[in-house]
Amino acid sequence: MRYLPLTEDDRQKMLETIGAASVDDLFVDVPKAGRLARPLDLPDHAGEMEVGRALASLAAANMDAGSVPSFLGAGLYRHFVPATVDHLIQRGEFLTAYTPYQPEISQGTLQTLFEFQTQVALLTGMEVANASMYDGASAAAEAVLMARRITRRDRAVLSGGLHPHYRDVVHTLALGSGIETLPPQIDGTEDMCAAIDAETACVVVQNPDFFGNIRDLKDVSVACEAAGALLIVVVTEALSLGAIQSPGEMGAAIVAAEGQSFGNGLNFGGPTVGLLATQERFLRQMPGRLCGQTVDVDGRRGWVLTLSTREQHIRREKATSNICTNSGLCALAFTIHVALLGEEGLRRLAGINHEKAVALAEKLESLSGIEIVTPAFFNEFTLRLPVAAAEAVDRLAERGVLAGVPLSRLYPGEAALANDLLVAVTEMVQESDMDALVEGLKGLLP
């Protein structure tokens, strides 16, 4: 949104219109003790060119993940985005459209969201998906709230392998629920079944988990069903769904995922697109909106908002959620990229990611003192160094290598994780990048 400053004359005319002598009159209801008697301690205003130069100098101090060997992951991944994606989403009818309140003039937007829902349902192995959430973390929290509505229970059990940021968002949005977070298990051996009881509304498990472990969730699904609880599966790397068994096949009741891997670059950490899918029997408890296909009076195919029980529409305090919109443009980018890949391309791309991750793991494991902690992984794994991981990352950054994410950054109180480094490998990583990481770590080993 553009900033259009007002002149002093503009302000005076506005004050005259509302019958105020000065701007101070607008704050008469604020006690004097609560008013600031001096200007804020901020730099003076600057011109557009000056601001542009200042921002450019700040940006120049950063290390661009696309310009150096990068093994960053932990929920956001650097994948190749075809030029076709950006070309299509920047068409005027997509770029400027906001929300499909008036279906008769939003058929294109509604159709793309319908296609998006279809893709998400197929990828996750679920029966129905909504028209996107804000991001993966908010989708996970909405899934917990949804499970509470369905089961009428308040206790939620969060796996120790759930992304710490997702865990924090769940705690924030599901305030009032009895949330139990299990301790982190880097090797993925936690016993989720033992944590389920008759008061449990849901169990939230990430797959692959935050540490990279690929997990078989069928036993957890059976335990949840026996106790009347719901299994919520979280996926942060959507590309993994092209290689591993889908959450639906493992018995998930609800799937919450991050769709950034398709069509959306890192973009300094956002915006991204949240995915949420479920079984059809829970359809009316889904948050957000859902687009459906129908025919008009002349028998022509068309698209409508089938369900939109949100507070901004019709349900008010009885709404399933107060989420006010969806990540429409990011969802469109997701849809275009997945359509370009197709089923065969998706599987091939997932295979390339896994093969490259295995190749790097073998190179790193050959170094004395380095241990691969994650026994089975897709394209991300945890390795244990003989030195502090945070220090190693800083040293390698000085050499122009983004080595990964030290677990101590996200688990600052866990001394046992101080030497653990989370490394992600995508199709963008080349052999020379791997060699740079190996040589860099070799120079840090005692």
DSSP calls for 257-313: EE-TTTT---GGG----EEEEE-GGGGGG--S-EEEEEE-TTS-EEEEEEE--BTTT
Which residue type occupies 268? F
Sign of the CA dihedral 96, 98, 100, 104?
negative
Written as one letter, the residue type at 387 is V
Task: Name the architecture of domain 83-338.
Answer: 3-Layer(aba) Sandwich (3.40)
Which CATH superfamily, name and number, covers 342-442? Aspartate Aminotransferase, domain 1 (3.90.1150.10)
Considering the chain, tell me which residue range(s) the CATH 3.40.640.10 domain(s) occupy: 83-338
In the block, tokens 């008061």 appear at 199
- What CA–CA distance (Å, rounded) separates 229 from 426? 35
- The segment(s) of the chain belonging to CATH 3.90.1150.10 are 342-442
Whole-number Å distance between alpha carbons of 402 and 64: 9
The low-confidence residues of the chain, meaning pLDDT below 70, are 1-4, 96-105, 309-317, 324-325
- What digits encode the pLDDT tens for the residues 133-180? 999 999 999 999 999 999 999 999 999 999 999 999 999 988 777 889
User: How many CA within 13 A on the CB side of residue 294?
Assistant: 13
- Whole-structure pTM value: 0.88
Give me the residues paired with residue 441 across strands: none
Residues 6 or more apart whose CB falls under 8 angstroms from that of 222 comprise 251
Q: Which DSSP string corresponds to 172-200?
A: HHTBTBEEEEPPP-TTS---SGGG--TTE
Q: What is the pLDDT of residue 100?
A: 64
pLDDT at 2: 57
pLDDT value of position 4: 67
Distances (CA, A) of 189 to 179, 185, 242, 374: 21, 6, 24, 11
Tokens of 139: 């989708």
Residue whose tokens read 């600052």: 412
Note if the bond before 271 is cis, omega within 30 degrees. yes
How far apart CA 446 and CA 440 sit, in angstroms, is 13
pLDDT at 1: 44
**First vs last Cα of the chain: how many Å apart?**
53
Between the alpha carbon of residue 357 and those of residues 185, 362, 371, 382, 429, the distances in Å are 21, 9, 15, 11, 9
C-alpha R_g of the chain: 25
- Give the Cα separation of 21 and 311 in Å (integer): 39
